[in-house]
Structure 1
Amino acid sequence: MQLTQDQRSLLDAIAHPWLDHGEWPLWANVQHYFDMRGQDADAIFHSLPRVGTQTPFGAGYGFTLPMRAPIDGKDQVRLTVAASLVVPQVRMVAGEPFVQALRHMIDLYTSRPMHFNEVPTIILRSGELQTALPNLRPWFVQVLPDMLSNEPGINTGGSQTGDGAWEREVTRSVLQFRTVQSVEDYVQKTCEIVLAAAAQYAPAVPVVEEPVTAGPERAPYVNLALLKDLEETAAKTTWKLHKLLDLCRELNDNYVAGNPYACAALIRAVLDHVPPVFGQKGYASVASQHPFTMQKTDKDHAKKLLDFKSVADDVMHRPIGPSVPVIGMGDLPEPVRLNALLQEMLTILRASATSPASP
């Protein structure tokens, strides 16, 4: 099923405060944002695709938690892991780490000791998770229990233990996800689980079997919330971002339109344009020398973008000949990689905005 631009904007509006502050927005604030644009947020929310049924909870799944109409303005509205498929920044800071944490939970459960006269309780603790997966951001570790509580295929219970620490019981339910290696795998498996539950709980009720995917319509390549942050920061830093912003807007237009050659050239142009902000002369130095905030994950993204430069060179420099060169949309790097680089750049720009040493 295709998502409209209004549906994508709604998901971005819900995600932004959560990503910034770790708190889901009140529905009244989301409504107000769309009211100012002359749009009906409630209608857009209830138009979002779902699989299964609206109730019970375990028999339905979509990009958001279900909320019955009319939605109370004081209610918090929440995204699910499925939103990672269409909101690149959510995928980067929550979706992919969620899959890593889920894999760790599966390992904990499958390695539990064997007893024949008792059933051991397997506990996931925040401190132990951070030690086992040191690349996870503290922000993600803090919000993980809330995420687990709202994913219908995972049955866990837990509590806070003080000083922001928490523990969570790992149950047999995680074994349903043993083959999951990516966000796409996780969402597909969850859809299968809720469809089976819908058939069990409400066999006489028609079940929506439309897959929860982004559909053939592509989301913008550069996340719109990130692009907005760059636009706002442009007014506060002495770095001139005019060309970068234009490149990103043109990249989004061409990505949605499905123009692979233009996209490849524009991605290459962005990579060639940004190194001075990182204190480097060329992008190869950025990928190899910059101390990224998320050292392993973001450096991996940066290196993959460096590898892509040979594809972009092929696009721009291969002369015409008797053979037909073919570059498709699948040859472009995943949007999450460039978004991670631009997010790191945004952090540097925000710091430079308050520094007298800004260029």
Structure 2
Amino acid sequence: MWGIAERRGATALVLSATQTALLQTIYNEFRASNAWPTMYRVDRAFIKLKRRGGANTAAVMRDLPEGLLMRSQIRPAPIPDDEIKLTISGVAHCLGAQDDVESFVRAVRWCARQEMTREPEAGETSILVSGRQVKRAIPLALRSDPGAMDRLPILLTLHHWGCVQSGRTPDGTDWTLRLGPEVRRFSKVRSIEDFIDARVSWYEEEEQRQRPYPAVIDVPAEEVLPARAYINPRVLDQLREASGASWDTTKLVALAEELDACVQAGHVYASHAVLRALLDHVPPLFGQKSFAAVVSSHAWAKTDAKYLGRLSTFRDQADDALHRQISKMADLLMLDNLPQAAAVNALLRGCAVQLQKH
């Protein structure tokens, strides 16, 4: 089963004139605004084309071969507000897109080589690069178009190639990428076909790794290791002992205990749901209305701030666990996809400190 948008051979697909016109319409709208267009904008632009031959936008989009669009597994038929996004193979089918494609390939290859040669910051497990650094790897002829350089981070963050986090510099003037070890798979890509092959090969390896073993090996009970705690027991004790008169901590402690129990029991979706509930529960303790505000406004220590930043990106993943509807595609969430335990413990330790203040 396919859980990724990319397909080998997508750049070589022979499309009908109507299909080509639809891809070009999406790309033209993307190029004009440096943002992915909504279904409404695509439909408005497409119905004005003579080449569509009276075809319905949604029908043409539905019949496009796989590998050209980023399709939603939750809502296969897009509504007017949904953004319509092309894969890099879809972009490659469009006139005027060669510079975007070449910049994308060069940026991915450069990032992969940076991850292999540079050392991470203290306490980090990924390499941070800025947009300015990435752009310097792009030939001057390609980066002379400011619009193309504005589209580059949009294309890079749309695809899964080992970039584990994207963001902005502290002053907000530049974009950043955090590069994980898997980006090394892309160190030799020189074309979109190379990129797609590396991406699909990675997915196939992951799919193979997740298949159950053919036989179960009996292990004597005395040799079975106990499950590892997700929440540090000392942090749990700090929460239980916190005596803030202004707050009832019954639910907070229960959520922390249930999260730890769910992770130890291997309950993937329950773990995601309880962690999401925990993040939504604590903002008032920090004088905030949302978890994003907790991350950005509270005076966290430097390392804890990095941990909390990773937790703030977890909401989309939790939405995936809670709201993705059944489909013909495999759901690939695993316990390993949860935020690292150190990040959750940093949050709960901060909660205990806040409780002691009130």
Larger Rg: 2
After TM superposition, the score normalised by the length of structure 2 is: 0.47
